[in-house]
Amino acid sequence: MATPPADLGTALRPRARLIRTLGEELISNEVVAVIELVKNAYDADATHVLIRFTGPLVPGKGCIEVIDNGHGMELKTVQTVWMEPATASKRGKVRRTDKFKRRFLGEKGIGRFASSRLANELEVISRKKGAAKEVYGIFDWRQFDDEKKYLDEILILWEERAPVEIKPGGALDLLWGNNDELPTARARESGTLLRMTSLKQKWEAQHFDDLRRALARLVSPKFTKKKEEDKDPGFEVELALPTSFPEFSSKVEQPPILKHPHYVVRGSVNTDGSFNISYEILAEGIDKPLKGQFVRVKDAKGRFELRDIKATGSKKEDEPTETRPTECGPLDLELRVWDRDELGNVVQKTHSTIQDIRRDLDAVAGINIYRDGFRVLPYGEPQDDWLRLDLRRVQNPTLRLSNNQIYGVVHISADANPKLRDQSNREGLDENQAVQDLRDVMTEVLSRLETLRYAARPRATSKSGKPVGGLFAGFDLKPLADYVAKQLPQDKQAKELVEKTEQIFGGQLKEIQTVLGRYQRLATLGQLIDHVLHEGRQPIASINSEAALGLEDVQRAERLGGDFVAKAAGRFTVIRKQGDVLSIAFRRMEPFGGRRRGRPSQLYLEEIIRDAFGIFADDIARLNVKTRLPRTQTLVRVDPAEMQEVIINLLQNSLYWLEQVNESKREVEVSVERKGPDHVDILFSDSGPGVSPENRELIFEPYFSTKPEGVGLGLSIVGEIISDYYEGSLELLKNGPLKGANFLITLTKRV
φ/ψ of 35, rounded to 5, equals: -60, -40
**Most confident residue range from 23-37, 151-165, 708-722:** 151-165
In the sheet that holds 236-240, the strands lie side by side as 157-161, 134-140, 119-127, 191-199, 63-68, 48-54, 236-240, 250-251
Cβ atoms within 10 Å, residue 195: 21
Predicted local distance difference test score (pLDDT) of residue 47: 93
Average pLDDT over residues 503-522: 64
Average pLDDT over residues 230-258: 87
Nearest in space to 343 (alpha carbons), one of 278, 256, 221: 256
Give the tens place of pLDDT for each residue, 272-311: 999 999 999 998 889 999 999 999 988 777 788 888 887 6
Predicted local distance difference test score (pLDDT) of residue 291: 93
CB 133 within 8 A of CB 165: no
Annotated domain spans of the chain: 17-249, 257-456, 467-596, 599-751
**pLDDT above 60 for 459:** no
CATH fold of 599-751? Heat Shock Protein 90 (3.30.565)
Give the tens place of pLDDT for each residue, 528-544: 565 555 556 566 666 76
- For 60-79, b where at least 16 C-beta lie within 10 A, e where not — what string? eebbbbbbbbbbbbbbebbe
**pLDDT above 60 for 463:** no
Question: What is the pLDDT confidence band of residue 93, given thresholds at 50, 70 and 90?
Answer: very low
Helix locations, 261-334, DSSP H: none
Question: What is the pLDDT confidence band of residue 94, given thresholds at 50, 70 and 90?
Answer: very low
**pLDDT above 80 for 387:** yes
Give the tens place of pLDDT for each residue, 392-414: 888 788 889 999 999 999 999 98
Average pLDDT over residues 171-175: 92
Q: Is 265 helix (H, G, I), strand (E, B) or coil?
A: strand
Mean pLDDT of the chain: 81
**pLDDT above 90 for 471:** no
Helix locations, 561-638, DSSP H: 564-589, 605-615, 617-622
Cα–Cα dist 106/100, whole Å? 16
Give the tens place of pLDDT for each residue, 642-670: 888 899 889 989 999 998 888 889 999 99
Predicted local distance difference test score (pLDDT) of residue 224: 47
CB 365 within 8 A of CB 383: no
Question: What is the pLDDT confidence band of residue 592, given thresholds at 50, 70 and 90?
Answer: low
Question: What is the pLDDT confidence band of residue 450, given thresholds at 50, 70 and 90?
Answer: very high
Question: What is the pLDDT confidence band of residue 697, given thresholds at 50, 70 and 90?
Answer: confident
Average pLDDT over residues 15-42: 79
Nearest in space to 247 (alpha carbons), one of 356, 167, 341: 356
CB 616 within 8 A of CB 651: yes
The region of weakest confidence among 124-133, 208-217, 605-614, 620-629 is: 208-217
**pLDDT above 80 for 579:** no
Nearest in space to 734 (alpha carbons), one of 699, 671, 690: 690
**pLDDT above 70 for 34:** yes
For the chain, what percent of residues have pLDDT higher than 90? 36
pTM to 2 decimals? 0.66
Q: Which distant-in-sequence residues (6+ apart) come within 8 Å of 224 by Cβ? A: none
Give the tens place of pLDDT for each residue, 413-426: 988 999 998 886 66
Cβ atoms within 10 Å, residue 347: 14
**pLDDT above 60 for 378:** yes
**Using the 8-state DSSP alphabet, how is residue 219 labeled?**
B
Average pLDDT over residues 559-587: 64
**pLDDT above 60 for 6:** no
**pLDDT above 70 for 160:** yes
**pLDDT above 90 for 213:** no
Predicted local distance difference test score (pLDDT) of residue 467: 40
Nearest in space to 114 (alpha carbons), one of 214, 219, 38: 38
- The residue among 486 and 164 whose pLDDT is bigger is 164
**pLDDT above 80 for 503:** no
Architecture of domain 17-249: 2-Layer Sandwich (3.30)
Average pLDDT over residues 668-689: 94
Cα–Cα dist 30/28, whole Å? 7
Give the tens place of pLDDT for each residue, 136-145: 999 888 887 7
φ/ψ of 529, rounded to 5, equals: -60, -40
